[in-house]
Chains A and B, each alone.
Chain A
Amino acid sequence: MAYDYDKSIRPGKLPHIWCPGCGHGIVMKGLIRAMDTCGLDRKNTAIVSGIGCASRLPGYLDACTLHTAHGRAAAFATGVKMAKPEMTVICCGGDGDGTAIGGNHFIHACRRNIDMTYVIMNNFIYGMTGGQFSPCTPTGAKASTTPYGNPDPVFDISKLAIGAGATFVARTTAAHPREIDKLITMGIKHKGMAIIEVLDDCPTTYGRRNKFRSVVDMMKHLKANAVPAVAASKLTAEQLQGKFLTGILFQEERPEYCAQYAEVIKKAQA
C-alpha cells in the first residue's frame, strides 16, 4: 500500500522548499519510484541538476547528488558519466534551465546519445526568479516580463530532443503520476540519452497570471489536454488543437557515447 519514499529521502529534508501544489514534488515521487523499480544502487547513482526550483530536487534524494550552475546539468553529467560510465546518471531541472541557458548542452548531450536520463520539468515559466517567460511559455501568455502577452514562439522540448538525437523521448504530465515513473523507468533502462519531459505546474508564478484559479485547475488542464501519442493518429488536426501528446514519442537504438569511446580506448591501446 503506502509507498515507502522515506528510505530514498535524506533524513530531515522534508518539508521541501516548493510552493503548495508545485508539481515538482509529484515528479520527485515518480523519480523515486522509478529508481526503486530499476533497483538503482544509490551509491552508484548520480543525480545532477542546474539551477531553478526544479533543480533543487537532487538535494532531497539520498544518492550522489550534484546541484550545479544554471543550465549546466547536462554538461556536468557528461563529465560524471564519461569518467565513471558504470554509474547511473540522472539529470533533472526546469524548462528554462534545460532549454534556454542550457539549451546548447541539452542538444549536444542528446546528439552524443550518452547514457543518461534527463527528467525535464516543464512548467512553462522561470519559477525560481518569480515568473519571467521561458522558451516554453506559450505565445500570448502572461509572465512578469511579458506584461502585454508573450511575443515569443515556443520550444517543443520533446521535438527538440528528437531532432538533436536523443534515442528515447517521452512526455507526460504531473497529473499522470503513474506514467511519470513508468516512463522514467523505461528511460533509465534505455541505453542512451533518454529525455522525459514532464509538463508541470507552477501555480505561484504561472497559474495566477494566466487565469488558472487554483493549482487544481492547472492539474485538471494537464489531465484534460493530454492525448496518448498512440491515440493521436485517430484524431484530426482540429481535435489535436491545444492538446499535447504523451507517452513514448520516439525510440531507437543507436551506439551509446561511452561505448563508442571504449572503442577509441581499444584502438589507442592496440
Chain B
Amino acid sequence: MSSARLEVIERNCKGCSICVEFCPKNVLEMDVFLVKVARPEDCIKCMQCELLCPDFAIKVHDA
C-alpha cells in the first residue's frame, strides 16, 4: 500500500486529541494543544482521524 501524507490544518486544530486516541496505529501525538504527526509511516489510511476530527483539522492524503 502506498504511504500516506497527513496534513494538519493548524489554524483549525483545537487540540481535543480525539484523532490521537482513535488512531488504531498510534500515528499521532499531542504536542501541547496541537496534534503532531509522529509516525506517518505507520498510517494505514483508515480515515478514522479525519472522520472523527470535529474541526476539519486533519486530512489523510495519498503520499
Q: Interface of A with B (CB < 8 Å)?
A: 1-3, 5, 9, 14-16, 18-26, 29, 174-175, 177-178, 203, 214-216, 219-220
Contacts and interface: CB of A to CB of B under 8 A. Distances in A.
Interface in B1-51: 4, 7, 11-12, 14-18, 21-22, 45, 50-51
Contact of A25 (B7, B45, B55): B55
Contacts of A26: 51-54
Chain B interface bracket (under 10, 10 to 19, 20 to 34, 35 or more) = 20 to 34
Chain A interface mostly = loop
B62 A1 contact: yes
Given A214-B17, A215-B18, A23 B45 contact: no
Contacts, number: 71
A161 B21 CA distance: 34
19 contacts: A1-B60, A2-B50, A2-B61, A9-B56, A14-B11, A18-B55, A19-B14, A20-B16, A21-B18, A21-B54, A22-B54, A26-B51, A29-B56, A174-B54, A177-B51, A203-B16, A215-B17, A216-B22, A219-B18
Given A2-B7, A2-B59, A2-B60, A18 B54 contact: yes
A110 B54 CA distance: 29
Given A5-B56, A177-B51, 19 more contacts: A2-B7, A2-B50, A3-B50, A14-B11, A14-B56, A15-B12, A15-B14, A15-B55, A16-B55, A21-B54, A23-B54, A26-B52, A26-B53, A26-B54, A177-B52, A214-B17, A215-B18, A216-B16, A216-B18
